[in-house]
Amino acid sequence: MSRKTKRVTVYLDDDLHKTLKLKAIETEKPVSTLINDAVRETYTNYSADDAEKWLEDSFELMDQAAINSGGVKWKRDELYDV
């Protein structure tokens, strides 16, 4: 049974991207599979009742990543309106 997938844009620093590409070659898996596996493993520690905690932890990780959004900025409340 295959899973439905969504296309997203993720910005990685050059070193991390290089590491992922090398790991993909080593494991014979696509980079997207490595990222899916890492995200799934990270968030399997949350139960359905922990959805709010998961969301807050996700925002915290995004804040720590210091990703450049190209100048677009949203308030957290605006993200819930999507």
* Residue 24 CB partners (closer than 8 Å, separation 6+): 30, 31, 33, 34
Could you tell me if residue 5 is inside a domain?
Answer: no
pTM of the entire structure? 0.52
Residue 6 domain flag: no
- Domain assignment present for residue 1? The answer is no
- Residue 3: inside a domain: no
Please report how the helices 14-27 and 31-43 are oriented relative to each other, as an axis angle in degrees rounded to 10: 100
Q: What is the DSSP letter of 4?
A: P
- Number of domains forming the structure of the chain: 1
Give the tens place of pLDDT for each residue, 18-63: 988 999 999 999 988 988 888 887 777 777 677 778 778 878 887 7
Distance CA 26, CA 9 (A): 24
